[in-house]
């Protein structure tokens, strides 16, 4: 089967070469087989240039009078977003690319491969930020993808596969651009609001997308050879372990619940303690139960009660009604279901104990996006070739890669976040780690290309 595929590819390549279509005639000068990766294994990105690009991009959305250390607010569809996108498109053109904006507002560049019929290898990330964000979330992956393109072009190194770059639009608003490209989101998402408070349809027009032709942006399932995204870790595991490269096992499932606790609102001075039906007391016990059930077994699962509404929320009234959320995250969705069941059992006991009624309703379940082992091995080998230690870890944050996992084999490379801080002006990844990540991305692409 594999052999058959290779023969077809070579025949097509020969035909293409005969027709004079091979990229700049370079195909003949470079090996087209697995040897290509070895031959280009000494190729490195330019770390100083990557840093200069990151510093250059940081200007767009920087607080007035601020410096790089003050972070950015380059929120999707804002003027700063438009300006930052124009800056990056300029860099892509200088790198020899021809950027286009697809209907979903994603910036896309394609570099042709030398073997006809091979599916593209796609790399990319995003450059929009949260309000008051940092200069590394999304930017490192996006500008490293640019740096990979530039390095390959400068070396006149042909890839067998086409290489596609994508700078996804509106990631921080809920992986919107990549969600449309993966066909996970539909037209109804156009009516939602973007982070700047504009309708997504209007925001999309502002950045050069076309809400009437969203379907044109869809990447058909199975049409990519791989999707690889480099990103900052946004957690502190790599730094703590002293490991420069993270091999992401997947992007965690998010299991969300809404809880309603009905007690009875009554006078805080005249209602004896044994007679109270205190909904907030029940909530407090349930919050502790969430903590206990999530930590009852080993693993990296997390559980959070982050939103709470108390009624009547008055200092002299026994709380009669509480609504709160429960959010559980892990790569292992069945494990989350088992934890949720245990929490449900604890809730029943707490309701009996506090004379309240507790209802737990499932609100949403985002399935996990599991990385492809074959691609993870390429990342490990690429890092080993660069003398860099690796460590496997999950991603607790959502990423464009989770959307792409719906249509393609996917893997992610993480680089350390100092003190695990992200979505903050204090977000920091050392320049050396950024460069290491970009080099691992480059060498991973070369290894996939040689498959």
Least distance CB 124 / Zn ion (angstroms): 11
Residue number, 128 or 293, with CB nearest to Zn ion: 128
Nearer to Zn ion (CB atom), residue 168 or residue 257: 168
User: Could you give the C-alpha distances from 356 to 269, 288, 340, 342, 402, in angstroms and in order?
Assistant: 20, 17, 20, 19, 39
Residue found by looking up tokens 């939103």 in the block? 307
Question: Closer to Zn ion at the Cβ: 179 or 211?
Answer: 179
* Residue nearer to Zn ion on the CB measure, 141 or 158: 141
> Between 324 and 399, whose beta carbon lies closer to Zn ion?
399
Beta strands 253-262 and 357-366, pairing class:
antiparallel
Nearer Cβ to Zn ion (170/376): 170
User: How many Å apart are CA 97 and CA 110, to the nearest integer?
Assistant: 7
Work out how close the CB of 371 gets to Zn ion at its nearest, in angstroms, rounded to a whole number: 16
Question: Phi and psi dihedrals of 365, rounded to 5?
Answer: -140, 105
Residue nearest to Zn ion (CB): 138
Specify the residue, 230 or 407, whose C-beta has the smaller distance to Zn ion: 230
From residue 43 to residue 82, the character string flagging contacts with Zn ion as x (rule: CB under 5 A) and all else as - is ----------------------------------------
- By beta-carbon proximity to Zn ion, the closer residue of 29 and 419 is 419
Per-residue tokens: 206:
């502002």
State which residue, 141 or 263, has the beta carbon closest to Zn ion.
141
Applying CB under 5 A, what is the total number of residues that bind Zn ion?
2
Is the CB of 137 or the CB of 255 nearer to Zn ion? Answer: 137
Residues 122-151 touching Zn ion, rule: CB under 5 A, are: 137-138
Q: Which is nearer to Zn ion, 395 or 444 (CB)?
A: 395
Q: What distance in Å separates the CA atoms of residue 444 and residue 228, rounded to the nearest whole number?
A: 8
Q: The tokens 């009547």 sit on which residue?
A: 312
How near is the Cβ of 396 to Zn ion at its closest, in Å? 12
Q: Please say which residue, 134 or 138, places its beta carbon nearer to Zn ion.
A: 138
Residue 229 lies near Zn ion (rule: CB under 5 A): no
The CA distance from 431 to 416, in Å, is 11
Instruction: Report, in Å, the least distance between residue 249 CB and Zn ion.
Output: 18
What is the smallest separation between the CB atom of 306 and Zn ion, expressed in angstroms? Answer: 20
For residue 363, which of 332, 321, 323, 335 has the smallest C-alpha distance?
Answer: 323
Q: How far is the CB of 447 from Zn ion (least distance, A)?
A: 24
Closest separation in Å from C-beta 169 to Zn ion: 13
> Measured at the alpha carbon of residue 292, what is the angle toward residues 287 and 298, in degrees to the nearest 5?
140
Q: Residue 126 Cβ, how far from Zn ion at the closest point, in Å?
A: 6
Residues that bind Zn ion (CB under 5 A): 137-138
């Amino acid at each position: 089967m594999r052999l058959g595929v290779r023969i077809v590819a070579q025949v097509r390549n020969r035909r293409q070469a005969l027709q004079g279509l091979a990229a700049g005639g370079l195909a003949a000068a470079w090996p087209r087989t697995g040897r290509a990766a070895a031959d280009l294994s000494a190729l490195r990105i330019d770390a100083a240039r990557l840093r200069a690009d990151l510093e250059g991009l940081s200007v767009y959305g920087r607080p007035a009078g601020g410096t790089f250390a003050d972070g950015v607010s380059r929120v999707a569809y804002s003027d700063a977003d438009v300006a930052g996108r124009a800056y990056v498109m300029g860099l892509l053109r200088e790198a020899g690319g021809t950027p286009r904006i697809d209907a979903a507002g994603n910036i896309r560049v394609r570099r042709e491969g030398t073997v006809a019929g091979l599916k593209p290898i796609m790399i990319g990330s995003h450059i929009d930020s949260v309000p008051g964000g940092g200069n590394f979330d999304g930017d490192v992956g996006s500008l490293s993808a640019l740096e990979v393109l530039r390095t390959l072009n400068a070396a006149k190194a042909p890839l067998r596969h086409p290489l596609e770059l994508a700078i996804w639009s509106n990631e921080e608003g809920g992986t919107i651009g990549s969600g449309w490209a993966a066909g996970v989101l539909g037209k109804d998402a156009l009516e939602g609001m973007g982070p700047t408070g504009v309708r997504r349809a209007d925001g999309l027009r502002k950045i050069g997308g076309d809400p009437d032709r969203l379907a044109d942006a869809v990447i058909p399932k199975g049409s990519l050879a791989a999707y690889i995204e480099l990103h900052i870790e946004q957690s502190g595991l790599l730094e703590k372990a002293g490991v420069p490269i993270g091999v992401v096992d997947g992007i965690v499932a998010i299991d969300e619940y809404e809880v309603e606790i009905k007690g009875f609102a009554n006078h805080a001075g005249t209602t004896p303690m044994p007679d109270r039906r205190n909904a907030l007391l029940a909530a407090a016990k349930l919050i502790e139960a969430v903590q206990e059930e999530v930590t009852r077994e080993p693993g990296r699962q997390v559980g959070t009660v982050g939103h709470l509404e108390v009624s009547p929320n008055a200092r002299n009234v026994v709380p009669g009604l509480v609504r709160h959320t429960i959010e559980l995250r892990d790569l292992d969705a069945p494990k989350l279901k088992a934890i949720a069941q245990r929490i449900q059992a604890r809730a029943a006991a707490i309701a009996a104990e506090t004379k309240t009624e507790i209802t737990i309703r499932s609100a949403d379940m985002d399935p996990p996006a599991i990385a492809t082992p074959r691609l993870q091995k390429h990342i490990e080998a690429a890092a080993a070739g660069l003398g860099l230690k690796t460590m496997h870890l999950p991603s607790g944050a959502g990423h464009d890669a989770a959307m792409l996992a719906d249509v393609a084999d996917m893997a992610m490379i993480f680089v350390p976040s100092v003190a695990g801080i992200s979505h903050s002006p204090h977000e920091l990844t050392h320049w050396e780690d950024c460069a290491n990540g970009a080099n691992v991305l480059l060498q991973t692409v070369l290894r996939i290309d040689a498959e």
